[in-house]
Amino acid sequence: MTKRSSTLGRTPATAAAACVALVLLAGCGAAGSGGAPGAAQSAPTGASGGAAVAAPGGADPTGAATWTHYGADAGGTRFSPAAQITPANVRRLRIAWRYSTGELQRRGKDLITNSSTQVVPILAEGHLVFCTPFNRVIALDPATGRERWVYDPEVDTSHPLPYQYNCRGLAQWRDPQAAPDAACATRLYMGTADSRVIALDARTGRTCADFGENGQVRVVRDRPDRFPGESKIASAPVIAGGVVAVGSFVMDNLRTDAPPGTVYAYDLRTGEQRWRFDPIPQDPADPAFATWGNGSALRTGAANVWSTMVADEARGIIYAPVGSAAPDFWGGERPGDNLYSSSLVALDAATGRPTWHFQSVRHDIWDYDVSSPPMLVDLVRDGRPLPAVVQNTKQGFVFVFDRTNGTPLFPIEDRPVPQNALPGEWLAPTQPFPVKPEPLVPTTLTPDDAWGFTFWDRRACRKKIEALRSEGIFTPPTTAPGTILVPGTAGGANWGGPAYDPARRLMIVNVNRVPQVVILVPRAQIPGIEGINLEAGNDVAAATGTPYGVRREWLLSPWGAPCVAPPWGELVAVSLDDGSIRWRVPLGSIEKQLPIRFEWNLGTPNVGGPVVTAGGLVFIGATMDGFLRAFDVETGEMLWRHEMPAGTQTTPMTYEAGGRQFVVMATGNHLWFGSPPGDEVIAFALPES
């Protein structure tokens, strides 16, 4: 997870660099805007009054497949067969409608600032459905943006920072035994900030009374939260094998015995718990238990699935990206490889038992969670189709496996990694490296790599790098002056995930390239959990139960620019046929930090993912500059961009309704980016004429 860092300095000579260096700056970007609460607004070009996009049961009257899952489909490919918008006409895109959720007015700026808008809408029962950061579920007419129904679970909003209210999305299920017009024939499932799983009738928004207790199940963890919001459900559930499964967000770096990262699965109709999967094994008979030395599996928390799971519905397999164990940067209390932390785990959807796994980081002490959602694709090997799962990582690595059994489809090598940690730490002597594709971001940093706008700040960066421990990726954290983390904890790739063009067999993914400095701080110098003060730009965490807390800083020049050469964020296209990189382009402009504004695409830190369409386009927001962009999938050329009224740190989606293709993006605040607050969902389309 990524935390807020200190505000970057500004001088006239370095205005171009300020705000670009990190993923978390308050104060950067344009002011937000919003319409009347709960109102759809037509753009001056007019909005279509066409019919709803799907008939009951999910049939699509336009013939274009619908966006029915968080990642477009169950496998998370973020691909749409919609092809009305093309490289030839994308410059004609205009706002078709915009809808304000009213959250900015309802909650107030202070509470909005304590939230992140990361939602991706889906299509269900003819509605465009999404959740606000406060778990209000809203259904709109997909063609006009007019509100149809709203459900509010009334989560408690009295908690202070760093609670981070967030809802990334919903999942849906069509009950094959229900009559088409029956209540809850199609159900929506959502996890909440107060750890409930709620089932709604997709047609009406009413709770499904037969699920749990009046439509909801409360998740009760084996180890309770120390304060409200230490754990929560933020990502969309996943459905397969007759169950709805949810992971959890667990606050980083606070304590060794953090809440556990258990995945829970509930019966789709009744809400009865069917199984649970503990990424930190609790049964001594489990072979993975032995990878936690000194019985530490029973005392360690986190290793949670905080990102998005995907499913091979036909094979009944759920793919879970598992995070790092607690705390992130010191593992002396948990010697061993620590399975199944920092792993991709394939779970039998009916039982929750692992069918295979791959650990991308052994004994993770770098916060290298498996944060990117897995992606299920069909590749061709030896002339035959082969079901594959693709896993991007914060390290900038891309691992590709046969998704039925975990066999690597590109070679993976175990390579020696830096050793000599602080006394009491345990290190794995080797880590896995994919031979192909090559790392998507740099994995080493030397003084010769120092960069600056001028000779003066480049020299300052060089001196800073020389003073820090920097032996490349997997260098163990140390005390002051600290260790360079390359890549940083924002990635490489992060939770936005990739998209896939099945015709070209191209994976498109956005990456970050700003290194970080990690400093282990003796516990006596940190008072406790109160040592975190995100609003003051103080990224110091207690990590109670260990000899060290942690301080994180971005590797910046005295003027506030990254000490490495741009681009600081990129969009990359990777061939999954041969593992080659087809193109890479800067993602993001620093124009809003210039004294005289002009487009300067040096790339910015980014979170949120891309979308690929059959029309040959890639759509992506994600950047710090607040633009939604379109790129040519063949060449990477940027063809169109639109400045949004608030933060765009999520993934767009697209569909056809009323004879038009729409591209839809949710905008709003992002707690770690300090994005301009807002609460609008905005739809783009070609002019009706």
- Which residues are marked as active site? 367
- Asked whether the bond before 487 is cis by omega within 30 degrees of 0, the reply is yes
CA geometry: angle 121, 124, 128, nearest 5 deg? 40
Beta strand 343-348 pairing with 317-321: antiparallel
Q: Is 290 helix (H, G, I), strand (E, B) or coil?
A: helix
Structure tokens at 18: 């300020």
Structure tokens at 648: 């765009």
Provide the CA 525 distance to its chain's centre, in angstroms: 33
Residues facing residue 172 across a β-bridge: 188
Contact 83, 62 (CB under 8 A): no
- The phi, psi pair for 457, rounded to 5°, reads -75, -25
Other residues' Cβ atoms within 10 Å of the Cβ of residue 84: 18
Contact 151, 214 (CB under 8 A): no
Q: Is 13 helix (H, G, I), strand (E, B) or coil?
A: helix
Structure tokens at 536: 């003051």
Cα separation, 414 vs 655, in Å, equals 43
Other residues' Cβ atoms within 10 Å of the Cβ of residue 351: 15
Cα separation, 234 vs 359, in Å, equals 24
Residue 514 CB contacts under 8 Å (≥ 6 apart), including other chains: 21, 22, 23, 488, 490, 554, 555, 562, 564, 568, 605
Residues facing residue 241 across a β-bridge: none
Contact 332, 547 (CB under 8 A): yes
Edge to edge, what strands does the sheet with 375-381 contain? 375-381, 384-392, 398-402
Phi and psi based region of residue 46 (left: phi greater than 0; alpha: psi -120 to 50; beta: remaining): left
Quick one: DSSP state of residue 51?
Answer: P
**Helix (H) / strand (E) containing 463:** helix 455-467
Cα separation, 574 vs 568, in Å, equals 19
Cα separation, 514 vs 512, in Å, equals 6
Which residue's structure tokens are 């942690």? 550
Amino acid at 237: P
Half-sphere exposure of 437 (CA within 13 A, CB side): 29
Contact 219, 196 (CB under 8 A): yes
**Nearest Cα residue to 265 out of 237, 305, 288, 301:** 237
